Amino acid sequence: MEKQATRDAYGKALVELGRKYGDVVVLDADLSKSTKTADFAKVFPDRFINAGVAEQNMMGMAAGLAASGKVPFASSFAIFATGRAFEIVRNSLAYANLNVKICATHAGLTVGEDGGSHQSVEDLAIMRCVPNITVVAPADGVSTRQAVAAVYHHPGPVYLRLGRPAVPVIYDESLSFRIGRGIVLRAGKDATLIGCGIMVAKCLEAADRLRAEGIDVSVVDMHTIKPIDRDLIARKAHETGAILTVEEHSVLGGLGGAVCEVVCEQFPVPVMRMGINDQFGQSGTPDDLLEYYGLSVAMIMANTRILLSKK
């Protein structure tokens, strides 16, 4: 199976974007080799700004650039882009509704060996609750490439969440990525698995294996966490009567939280949330960590069976 890290796709997409649009500028905070903005820096050194280890100033400068007509893409690890720089993002970017794209890599547990201090399991929640910010977490390299282009054309501040490890490519070029529109990847009548980011591939694998057991689940790639696709969630609640959310993020406030809000208000059915259970990560290989924190295909299958018993 072909694999690509979403951060690698991001680096390549930035170069394509830079070729097409002269107003694209890229900022980084001393992590350009890891976030892959170095790809852009190599081709467009004059449109690349390294802030050094200074994420707050990076976001502040991005605000100034955006206020002057540029379209800044500001990158760092998710923990620092949304954590260290939070209040600058909130007041300078979101409150002022500036056209800045916060593209953060190394989100979630799959940062791996660097450990809990570097694994952001709360970034979706904190970005989602800030007015004006659009929140996107693509599932693979192909959708990331399209998402980067979509994000460029989408006015206002956007948070794009990207990952470190290579993950299965699940789309081909026929994909037509639209911000705010979830993608139904599998039809099914017994339950719906709603995933985002790197968990979508695991949902697909779980769905295929459940089918062999005679359990027929639908799979949705909910790449846009905000504004979330309310219609699709309500429709799936209605059609399948049970929903399992799966994210590489805390179960509080991210995809699971957003889906629950919609289900409660629009079509109450049993929901289970899979994610990190209100705890910090730790050092380990990405695969070991996903397994340890219960984000495996086997756990998705097991939780689906439990969910069905609640219908």
Partner 1 sequence: MREITESTIHAVETKARSLRRHIISMLGEAGSGHSGGSLSAADIVACLYFWEMNVDPHEPHKPDRDRFVLSKGHAAPVLYAALAEKGFFPVIELDSLRKLGSRLQGHPDMNKLSGVEASTGSLGQGISWAVGMALAERMNGPDRYRIYALLGDGEIEEGLVWEALMAAAHYKLDNLTAFLDHNRLQIDGPIAEVMSPEPVADKFRAFGWETLVIDGHDISQIMQALELARSTTGRPTAIIADTVKGKGCSFMENKAEWHGTAPNREQTIQALEELEVSPQRA
Residues serving a catalytic function are 55
Interface pick for ligand TPP out of 4, 12, 16, 30 (rule CB under 6 A): 30
Interface pick for partner 1 out of 9, 13, 31, 137 (rule CB under 8 A): 31
Choices 171-179, 258-266, 279-287, 298-306 (CB under 8 A): range interacting with partner 1:
279-287
Q: Does 298 bind ligand TPP (CB under 6 A)?
A: no
Q: Does 80 bind partner 1 (CB under 8 A)?
A: yes
CA separation for the pair 188, 131 (Å, rounded): 34
Decide which of partner 1, ligand TPP, none touches 296; Cβ closer than 5 to 8 Å per partner kind: none
Pairing outcome for strands 166-168 and 271-276? unpaired
Choices 45-53, 102-110, 145-153, 193-201 (CB under 8 A): range interacting with partner 1:
45-53
Q: Does 53 bind ligand TPP (CB under 6 A)?
A: yes
Q: Does 34 bind partner 1 (CB under 8 A)?
A: yes
Decide which of partner 1, ligand TPP, none touches 289; Cβ closer than 5 to 8 Å per partner kind: partner 1
CA separation for the pair 123, 105 (Å, rounded): 11
Q: Does 57 bind partner 1 (CB under 8 A)?
A: yes
Interface pick for partner 1 out of 32, 92, 224, 250 (rule CB under 8 A): 32
Q: Does 117 bind partner 1 (CB under 8 A)?
A: yes
Q: Does 223 bind ligand TPP (CB under 6 A)?
A: no
By C-alpha distance, which of 273, 283, 275 is closest to 304? 273
Q: Does 91 bind partner 1 (CB under 8 A)?
A: no
Distance of CA 118 to the CA centre of its chain: 16
- Residues 6 or more apart whose CB falls under 8 angstroms from that of 185 comprise 170, 200, 204, 219, 220, 221
Structure tokens at 141: 């390299």
CB of 50 vs partner 1, minimal distance in Å:
5
For CA atoms 39, 31, 78, 86, give the dihedral sign. Answer: negative
Helix axes 199-212, 297-309, angle to 10 degrees: 60
Phi, psi of 236 (to 5 degrees): -65, -35
CA separation for the pair 309, 144 (Å, rounded): 36
Q: Does 84 bind ligand TPP (CB under 6 A)?
A: yes
- The angle at the Cα of 146, spanning 140 to 152, to the nearest 5 degrees, equals 130
Q: Does 31 bind ligand TPP (CB under 6 A)?
A: yes
Whether the CB-CB separation of 180 and 229 falls below 8 Å is answered with: yes
Interface pick for partner 1 out of 5, 11, 25, 28 (rule CB under 8 A): 28
Decide which of partner 1, ligand TPP, none touches 205; Cβ closer than 5 to 8 Å per partner kind: none
Decide which of ligand TPP, partner 1, none touches 282; Cβ closer than 5 to 8 Å per partner kind: partner 1
CA separation for the pair 103, 142 (Å, rounded): 16
Position closest to ligand TPP via CB: 30
Which is closer to ligand TPP, CB of 165 or CB of 188?
A: 165
Which is closer to ligand TPP, CB of 10 or CB of 177?
A: 10
DSSP 45: G
CB of 76 vs partner 1, minimal distance in Å:
11
Distance of CA 150 to the CA centre of its chain: 14
Structure tokens at 20: 């097409």
- The angle at the Cα of 3, spanning 83 to 79, to the nearest 5 degrees, equals 5
Residues at the site binding ligand TPP, with contacts judged by CB under 6 A: 30-31, 53, 80, 84
